[in-house]
Amino acid sequence: MKLKLIAFSGLMIVSSAALSAPLQLDEEILKEKAAFSLGVQKDRVTIEESDRTPEKLTEYFNAIYKNKTYQCYVSHLKDSISDAVCRPTDGSDLPK
């Protein structure tokens, strides 16, 4: 019984360490996610760093398309990355 408890405790420690390790999202991944959200081709999107407060499992960034800035974010857990959620900074609609 003690061995099972020790093994379970070790597994929980390893799992929590893996979940808390920051995922490195490169610019190409963010471009692809933002382009999909905006409904445009990824080679027409550029990515800039956001001034929003970072969170542990969320990456904030700005996507620029046709000289218009969109605030975007993706959430991630381990190797899974959500689709991007993007909104225009000027309150207008998404691209058509």
Q: How far apart are CA 87 and CA 78, in angstroms?
A: 25
Ordered alpha helix ranges (H), 21-77:
27-38
Ordered alpha helix ranges (H), the chain:
2-20, 27-38
Q: Which of 73, 78, 66, 62 is nearest to 23 (CA)?
A: 78
pTM above 0.85? Answer: no
Q: Where are the domains of the chain?
A: 24-88
Token digits for 58? Answer: 């969320």
Question: Beta strand pairing status for 85-88 and 68-77?
Answer: antiparallel
Per-residue pLDDT of the chain in tens (96 residues, 90 and over written 9): 555 545 445 445 545 544 455 556 889 999 999 999 999 999 999 999 988 888 899 999 999 999 999 999 999 998 899 999 999 998 888 777
